[in-house]
Amino acid sequence: MNKKVQVQDLGLKDYKETWDYQEALFKEIVDLKIRNRREAAGLATPNHFLFVEHPHVYTLGKSGDIDNLLVDEAVLAEKGATFYKINRGGDITYHGPGQIVGYPILDLDNFFTDIHKYLRFLEEMVILTLAEYGLKGQRSEGETGVWLDVGTPFARKICAMGVRASRWVTMHGFALNVNADLGYFDLMIPCGIKDKAVTSLNTELGKTTIAMEEVKQKLLKHFEALFEAELIKQKTMA
């Protein structure tokens, strides 16, 4: 099993361009697994972890309801935002500047073949990171992601998740609000869940901005421990 994970920070990158890049990495791993099975080649499959920030964009998962986007594309254009229907699970999600988006593209055969465990590990990575800032991140039963004050009228989501997996290879991932403009969430029903608010790390801490790089390093530290991975930093994508 290859537990080495190549980490790239793509900076601010267009959603579609990043999606295409994810798909290329995903296909490379799947094709190699097919070759291994067909030819008994025994070649090690790679693993990747991408960090990125996106310009304002709304994405709708394959099981999502378009009615959860509350405005039309003309209004989105006025807000400088785009919209895509995509091939992950989950409903509608917003990405934008000030949000850390993470895309682990892993061959789970290198770790464990359990998609529910995978999602719980991603949630735990975020929960442990929030704890370092004095916040109690929690799971909400039946709702993937990380929340604050679950079970109270003040429940609010700080990290959304949605993944795709095929042949135990993952793509898509999580979006943690760090310095996010929460006004953009008003244009949708986040993840199709009504009557629950969305928050951001800087809002919770009463600060204007939180150092994004610091949060990324904490996330990677906990990812490395949970997955027992060996992280290898790569140069950014050209």
Does residue 86 form part of some domain?
Answer: no
Residue 53, SS3 per DSSP: strand
Does residue 149 form part of some domain?
Answer: yes
Q: Cα Rg for the chain, rounded, in angstroms?
A: 17
Does residue 62 form part of some domain?
Answer: no
Does residue 144 form part of some domain?
Answer: yes
* Helix and strand element counts for the chain (H, E): 5, 12
Name the β-bridge partners of 148: 156
- Residue 52: per-residue pLDDT: 98
Residues whose CB falls within 8 Å of the CB of residue 52, separated by 6 or more in sequence, listed in order:
9, 10, 11, 12, 13, 18, 101, 103
- Residue 137: per-residue pLDDT: 97
- Residue 54: per-residue pLDDT: 97
**Residue 227 burial (10 A CB sphere; 0-12, 13-18, 19+):** buried
pLDDT cut 90: percent of the chain above it: 70
Q: What is the DSSP letter of 190?
A: G
Q: Which of 207, 160, 176 is nearest to 51 (CA)?
A: 176
Mean pLDDT of the chain: 91
Q: Looking at residues 48-69, what average pLDDT do you find?
A: 88
Q: pLDDT for 109-136, tens place per residue?
A: 999 999 999 999 999 999 999 999 999 9
How many domains does the chain fold into? 1
Q: pLDDT for 175-226, tens place per residue?
A: 999 999 999 988 887 655 556 789 999 999 999 999 999 999 999 999 999 9
**Residue 23 burial (10 A CB sphere; 0-12, 13-18, 19+):** middle
Q: pLDDT for 73-92, tens place per residue?
A: 888 888 899 888 887 767 78
Known catalytic membership, residue 159: no
- The CA dihedral of 21, 23, 24, 29, to the nearest 10 degrees, is 130
- Residue 143: per-residue pLDDT: 84
Active-site residue, from 191, 201, 219, 220? 191
Query: Distance between CA atoms of 17 and 14, rounded to whole angstroms?
Result: 5
Dihedral over Cα of 105, 110, 116, 122: its sign: negative
Query: Distance between CA atoms of 206 and 66, rounded to whole angstroms?
Result: 34
Query: Distance between CA atoms of 201 and 158, rounded to whole angstroms?
Result: 7
Identify the H or E element spanning 117.
helix 115-131
Please count the residues of the chain: 238
Quote the domain boundaries for residue 155. 4-53+100-233
CATH number of the domain bearing residue 166: 3.30.930.10
- Give yes or no for a contact between 131 and 57, defined as CB atoms under 8 angstroms apart: no
